[in-house]
Amino acid sequence: MAGGAAGISIGRNAFQHRMPDRFVRAAACIVHHGKGVDEAMELLKV
């Protein structure tokens, strides 16, 4: 996002993830809420 991205494309990697809802929530956290990767990764932990 810092490099100028406007968003992301969700596809196979999200849909085939073992927890697709958390994957998409983590991605949205980065895109829409300006969170960092480390914060997003916390959402994927079980």
pLDDT single digits (tens) 10-44? 999 899 999 999 999 999 999 999 999 999 999 99
Tell me which amino acid residue 31 is: V
Q: Please report the pLDDT score of residue 1 as a whole number.
A: 82
H-run or E-run covering 23: helix 20-33
Sign of CA dihedral 7, 12, 13, 18: positive
Q: Please report the pLDDT score of residue 21 as a whole number.
A: 94
Q: Is 44 helix (H, G, I), strand (E, B) or coil?
A: helix
H-run or E-run covering 3: none
> What number of residues does the chain have?
46
Q: Please report the pLDDT score of residue 4 as a whole number.
A: 87
Q: Please report the pLDDT score of residue 35 as a whole number.
A: 93
* C-alpha to C-alpha distance for 44 and 21, rounded to whole angstroms: 9
